């Protein structure tokens, strides 16, 4: 199965007809229609109807579709689920997740709606956004709370407010939270998505943060402007040099297997299992990004 890339998840306000209509044309891996923070209380109902009708009538191609619903403890949360799950097209992103029980409650409601609407049980996937100190400390339990979860994300603004600080250029205050979310995601075998970078005019600062979260191990980043898509994809797409090195590693292990040798070396250096696994993962990402032809064999 071809790897699903989630390098970029573009926020689209649920009350903006033009942005909802055109959301997929910019080339982000995922689009997230937001019914929560970007929509005023007076517009919640109309935004829900707008997104619902768009999902029912528009063709977004292969773009992954996500909807951030309101907190299920709010009057709008269940109404959002009722509408969005019935489209049969979206991943539900649960905001302000603080414990496994939050995920489990959302899962119960989704299952009820699937049964009522005749959708296959388990067909609606979920993401959980972690946005508080409590959520970060419970990241592992959240990540393992449901088989529907395909990823967890960190939301920086609420998180740093909960820490009683603010965001710095270097993001040192986010390091622990990011690390906890990432480790929980990896332990559960799901994706980890980083928070938004709100200064859209500071491209170098944005690129520096993307390079940081890629080095940490995140699968991608939430973004708020189409201009941010290109830099993220550029940084996350393996270079020709990286691809060539990884191909040589896979060729070396295949040669060793043909010879029945347990010793694998390349250019005089020993190659162990973690090196091979990193090479395999890099080639999968390269193929998914179109930087490596699908018919080019690498032992995957």
- Identify which of 47, 31, 175 has the alpha carbon closest to the alpha carbon of residue 93: 31
pLDDT of residue 1: 45
How do residues 230-240 score in pLDDT, each as one tens digit? 999 999 999 89
The answer as to whether 299 is a domain residue is no
Together in a domain, 30 and 124: yes
Total domain count, the chain: 2
Mean pLDDT of 192-220: 96
The answer as to whether 140 is a domain residue is yes
CATH of the domain at 208: 3.20.20.60
Together in a domain, 88 and 122: yes
How do residues 239-273 score in pLDDT, each as one tens digit? 899 999 999 898 888 877 777 666 676 776 778 88
Return mean pLDDT, the chain.
Answer: 92
pLDDT of residue 275: 87
Together in a domain, 215 and 266: no
The answer as to whether 150 is a domain residue is yes
The answer as to whether 300 is a domain residue is no
Structure tokens at 220: 């991608």
Q: What percent of the chain has pLDDT over 70?
A: 95
The answer as to whether 168 is a domain residue is yes
Together in a domain, 205 and 255: no
Residue 196 — very low, low, confident or very high, per pLDDT cuts 50/70/90?
A: very high
Residue 3 — very low, low, confident or very high, per pLDDT cuts 50/70/90?
A: confident
- What distance in Å separates the CA atoms of residue 26 and residue 77, rounded to the nearest whole number? 29
Mean pLDDT of 203-215: 97
CA 24 to chain centre: 16
H or E segment at 280? helix 273-288
Torsion angle, CA of 39/41/42/43, rounded to 10 degrees? 30
Among residues 193, 217, 236, the one where a domain terminates is: 236
- Which residues face 30 on adjacent strands? 9, 64
The answer as to whether 298 is a domain residue is no
pLDDT of residue 111: 98
Please name the residue that has the structure tokens 């409601």: 109
* Helix (H/G/I), strand (E/B), else coil: 101: helix
Q: Are 278 and 271 contacting, i.e. CB atoms less than 8 angstroms apart?
A: no
The answer as to whether 1 is a domain residue is no
Together in a domain, 249 and 210: no
Range of the domain at 256: 240-288
Together in a domain, 248 and 168: no
pLDDT of residue 296: 56
Together in a domain, 25 and 73: yes
**Of 211 and 266, which is predicted with more confidence?**
211
- What distance in Å separates the CA atoms of residue 127 and residue 190, rounded to the nearest whole number? 10
The answer as to whether 297 is a domain residue is no
Together in a domain, 191 and 272: no
Torsion angle, CA of 231/236/238/241, rounded to 10 degrees? 60
Residue 300 — very low, low, confident or very high, per pLDDT cuts 50/70/90?
A: very low
Q: Are 47 and 71 contacting, i.e. CB atoms less than 8 angstroms apart?
A: no
- Which residues face 67 on adjacent strands? 33, 92
Together in a domain, 244 and 231: no
Together in a domain, 244 and 229: no
Together in a domain, 136 and 155: yes
How do residues 30-58 score in pLDDT, each as one tens digit? 999 999 999 999 999 999 999 999 999 99
Q: Find the radius of gyration of the CA atoms of the chain.
A: 21
H or E segment at 61? none
Together in a domain, 178 and 267: no
* Helix (H/G/I), strand (E/B), else coil: 242: helix
- Identify which of 217, 232, 223 has the alpha carbon closest to the alpha carbon of residue 282: 217
């Amino acid at each position: 199965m071809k790897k699903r890339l989630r390098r970029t998840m573009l926020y689209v306000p649920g009350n903006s007809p033009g942005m909802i209509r055109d959301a997929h044309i910019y080339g982000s891996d995922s689009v997230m229609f937001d019914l929560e923070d970007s929509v005023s209380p007076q517009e919640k109902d109309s935004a829900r109807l707008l997104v619902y009708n768009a999902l029912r009538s528009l063709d977004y191609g292969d773009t992954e579709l996500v909807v951030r619903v309101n907190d299920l403890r709010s009057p709008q949360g269940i109404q959002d689920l009722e509408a969005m799950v019935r489209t049969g097209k979206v991943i539900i992103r649960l905001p302000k997740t603080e414990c496994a029980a939050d995920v489990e409650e959302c899962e119960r409601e989704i299952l009820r709606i699937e049964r009522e609407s005749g959708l296959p049980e388990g067909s609606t996937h979920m993401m959980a956004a972690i946005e508080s100190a409590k959520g970060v400390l419970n990241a592992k339990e959240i990540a393992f709370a449901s088989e529907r979860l395909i990823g967890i994300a960190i939301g920086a603004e609420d998180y740093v407010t909960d820490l009683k600080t603010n965001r710095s250029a270097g993001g040192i205050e986010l390091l622990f939270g990011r690390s906890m979310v990432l480790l929980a995601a990896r332990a559960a075998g799901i994706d980890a998505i980083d928070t938004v970078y709100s200064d859209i005019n500071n491209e170098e600062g944005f690129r520096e943060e993307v390079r940081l979260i890629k080095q940490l191990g995140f699968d991608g980043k939430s973004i708020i402007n189409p201009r941010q898509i290109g830099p993220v994809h550029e940084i996350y797409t393996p270079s020709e040099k990286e691809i060539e090195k990884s191909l040589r590693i896979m060729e070396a292990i295949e040669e060793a297997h043909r010879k029945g040798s347990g010793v694998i070396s390349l250019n005089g250096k020993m190659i162990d299992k973690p090196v091979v696994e990193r090479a395999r993962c890099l080639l999968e990402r390269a193929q998914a990004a179109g930087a490596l032809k699908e018919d080019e064999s690498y032992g995957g």
